[in-house]
Chains A and B, each alone.
Chain A
């Protein structure tokens, strides 16, 4: 490997380095740049410029050679990513193919990745529900993992801060489990979803709710978002291609161009981070070593403060690969917990059914969200034989029956003149909290390396008994709720998917009060190397049930302000 550090150290020195340009890294960079900090953002993948690099965004269905389907050869070569719901012909260029960055599965784990500027923020499902203290207090109350060093009051104003800028549509639902935020006008539930919400009230008192899920889409305050070059969501539901309107929040449409406009951001794509450099004399991190994705040349960059936002498991990998005499087992890893207590969200089960009622109605147009069923199990006290609980997605819809009976003119008439509506279809999927455990871990493979000379990640994560009991309970409870609502033809599934396909892997660099049992303090600093901040999924002490991205954004913004305040001391 050639080491071509031709440019002077001064040229390669910034005030801050952010590793990763996904949802949390770009938030850190945006805040740092807004505060006047000269920031270098490193991204391992190629550049993706808003609109310009969305090649499929305005393509019509018939313009896709395989009408959306992924060719068989690609599927066979890339079985893991092919299991992801969004890996389709229109967006497959934004996903990492299995062959491009191999890893070792000691147990089956579907690691879904997006290596490009913007990361997975281009591809995410855009659901943004706040955590509450029922979530932050979970580990302490139920005796697992370690206590979170923060509570809702520490993060509340940062939720507001990121919601206002990112654009979050939602309704003030007044639920203790799911605090209200800074909402743009929400999207409405349809007539059958409203009916189900009423049935839940009728059958379960004030215990179970269905709300319109808060989503990171612009649905108001348009002049404000025009400053970011973004416009109202057009309900296209083609988000995974990148949105030419900037209708949903992504790093590419929002935080990155904003940060670039300040003049304080330098964006360096194609920079595969090898490790964080630790200076034993100064007793702090001084920079980052990268390998150019294309030329394979190594280069170093220096800064006073380093933000690690490489996405949960890659942030673990980078710390484990950052070794020194002081930290032979990975940067900041005095406790030995680095890479351990990895958890995820349990998405294995779903329940669907039909509904014969409200047959005079259908829906029209589109909306970027659906119904959300917040956690009701074990909220105020432990009441089941498993810990924690699950939230669920819920939506109702009605299709026109495709009549493909017959052949010839009869078939043609049937196809071109659809007239018969099917029944309402209702569907739900679980989002279960999983319990972080020492035995669910990631580590560096001692032998295998990737094409940049960096050790491959070995993943050892699996479901446990608690998850199995929760799946059973979700299926029973949702089936009962459906039955009581008069839904029929109820079908349940446990697709036995591997962990990872939820794309909510978390932990390994957890926060905690005690340096002996955690990696990060309450400000997201490594206990032992306080000028390194980790504010992505790796930092999660527990998982809750809510989609985690909003919390990462709030963490990143909060930590960036903390870092700037520290530098002024």
Chain B
């Protein structure tokens, strides 16, 4: 929440971006909100497309509607070890290259089905000690972390926990022997 407010302020001041001249991303802008990661605006938007593929919008909102990419980057930035942050960002950085090599296109221009298949395959990649193996391992690490955090950020969002599967701070009296057949729907929140 504090971070969201800070982000909002930052957005007002700088349009959300801090311009960092030169280096590898000369034409791209590194997002200052995730200070432990050198993530660019276009990488965040790619992460948005990936999370939207993992949980797409429909009648019920999807991951992108719920700002899940921001949640993912906050968690990686604040809660991952340095090693894992490096694997994650390396995987994120090499993902476009991997997509080009395997699909011959940019990820954004693939069909939904192609995107899904590519992510599923990517989560199963196995790494080894060679340079290519490390890259594969990083991509797989990046995609699995993204899937896990997408699910977490989505299911533990205000929208899901108020409108779809309401969470209750007060779960009610304990009943230690409820017949499952008497329940309409499994109760997962609270």
Stretch from B40-48, B72-80, B126-134 that touches the partner? B72-80
Chain A contacts for B183, CB-based, 8 A:
362, 364
Give the complex CA separation of A366 and B170 in angstroms. Answer: 8
CB <8 Å contact, B3 and A187:
no
Give the complex CA separation of A258 and B56 in angstroms. Answer: 55
Chain A contacts for B153, CB-based, 8 A:
67
Q: Does A419 contact B (CB under 8 A)?
A: yes
Contact A416-B156, Cβ < 8 Å, known A188-B176, A404-B151, A411-B54:
no
Quick one: closest A residue to B161, CB to CB? A62
Chain B contacts for A188, CB-based, 8 A:
174, 176
Contact A415-B170, Cβ < 8 Å, known A360-B181, A361-B180, A409-B56:
no
CB <8 Å contact, B79 and A72:
yes
CB <8 Å contact, A67 and B116:
no
Interface members, chain A 446-476 (any B CB < 8 Å): none
Chain A contacts for B88, CB-based, 8 A:
none
Partner of B176, one of A70, A72, A189, A400: A189
Interface members, chain B 137-172 (any A CB < 8 Å): 147-148, 151-158, 160-161, 164-165, 167, 169-172
Per-position 1/0 for B175-187, Cβ under 8 A of A: 1111111010011
Interface members, chain A 390-438 (any B CB < 8 Å): 400, 404, 406-409, 411-412, 415-416, 418-419, 421
CB <8 Å contact, B156 and A67:
yes
CB <8 Å contact, B176 and A407:
no
CB <8 Å contact, B172 and A62:
no
CB <8 Å contact, A363 and B178:
yes
Interface members, chain A 13-64 (any B CB < 8 Å): 58, 60-63
Chain B contacts for A65, CB-based, 8 A:
1-3, 74, 78
CB <8 Å contact, A60 and B174:
no
Q: Does B16 contact A (CB under 8 A)?
A: no
Give the complex CA separation of A360 and B188 in angstroms. Answer: 17
Contact A66-B188, Cβ < 8 Å, known A236-B170, A362-B183:
no
Q: Does A143 contact B (CB under 8 A)?
A: no
Per-position 1/0 for A182-205, Cβ under 8 A of B: 000001111101100000000000
CB <8 Å contact, B169 and A60:
yes
Name A residues whose Cβ lies closer than 8 Å to a Cβ of B: 58, 60-63, 65-67, 69-73, 187-191, 193-194, 234-238, 360-367, 400, 404, 406-409, 411-412, 415-416, 418-419, 421
Chain A contacts for B74, CB-based, 8 A:
65-66
CB <8 Å contact, A361 and B178:
yes
- Cβ contacts A to B, 9 pairs, < 8 Å: A71-B79, A188-B174, A190-B174, A363-B177, A363-B178, A365-B174, A407-B54, A412-B62, A416-B60
Give the complex CA separation of A188 and B174 in angstroms. Answer: 8
Quick one: closest A residue to B123, CB to CB? A407
Name B residues whose Cβ lies closer than 8 Å to a Cβ of A: 1-3, 53-56, 58, 60, 62, 74-75, 78-81, 112, 116, 119-120, 147-148, 151-158, 160-161, 164-165, 167, 169-181, 183, 186-188, 190
* Minimum C-beta distance from A462 to chain B (A): 29
CB <8 Å contact, B177 and A72:
no
Chain A contacts for B179, CB-based, 8 A:
360-361
Partner of A411, one of B2, B55, B112: B55
Contact A61-B79, Cβ < 8 Å, known A362-B180, A363-B176, A364-B178:
no
Quick one: closest B residue to A399, CB to CB? B188
Chain A contacts for B186, CB-based, 8 A:
400, 418-419, 421
Chain B contacts for A73, CB-based, 8 A:
78
Contact A190-B2, Cβ < 8 Å, known A408-B116, A419-B186:
no
Contact A412-B156, Cβ < 8 Å, known A61-B167, A365-B171:
no
Give the complex CA separation of A194 and B116 in angstroms. Answer: 47
Give the complex CA separation of A363 and B182 in angstroms. Answer: 11
Give the complex CA separation of A234 and B179 in angstroms. Answer: 23
Chain A contacts for B119, CB-based, 8 A:
407
Quick one: closest B residue to A191, CB to CB? B177
* Minimum C-beta distance from A564 to chain B (A): 41
* Minimum C-beta distance from B60 to chain A (A): 7
Give the complex CA separation of A133 and B55 in angstroms. Answer: 60
* Minimum C-beta distance from B125 to chain A (A): 15
* Minimum C-beta distance from B164 to chain A (A): 6
Contact A235-B3, Cβ < 8 Å, known A190-B176, A412-B58:
no
CB <8 Å contact, B180 and A360:
yes
Partner of A66, one of B55, B75, B116: B75
Chain A contacts for B160, CB-based, 8 A:
416
* Minimum C-beta distance from A212 to chain B (A): 10
Most B CB contacts (10 A, CB to CB) among A63, A189, A412 go to A412
Give the complex CA separation of A362 and B177 in angstroms. Answer: 6
* Minimum C-beta distance from B3 to chain A (A): 6
Chain B contacts for A187, CB-based, 8 A:
174
Chain B contacts for A409, CB-based, 8 A:
56, 58
Quick one: closest B residue to A68, CB to CB? B156
Q: A235-B170, A235-B171 are in contact. List 17 more A-B contacts (CB 8 A).
A: A62-B157, A63-B1, A65-B1, A65-B2, A66-B78, A69-B75, A189-B176, A238-B169, A360-B179, A364-B187, A400-B187, A400-B188, A407-B120, A408-B116, A411-B55, A412-B62, A415-B155
10 tightest Cβ-Cβ pairs between the two chains A and B? A190-B176, A367-B174, A191-B177, A365-B172, A366-B171, A400-B186, A71-B78, A365-B174, A62-B158, A364-B175
CB <8 Å contact, B81 and A72:
yes
Quick one: closest B residue to A194, CB to CB? B176
Chain B contacts for A69, CB-based, 8 A:
75, 79
Quick one: closest A residue to B119, CB to CB? A407
Partner of B152, one of A67, A360, A406, A411: A67
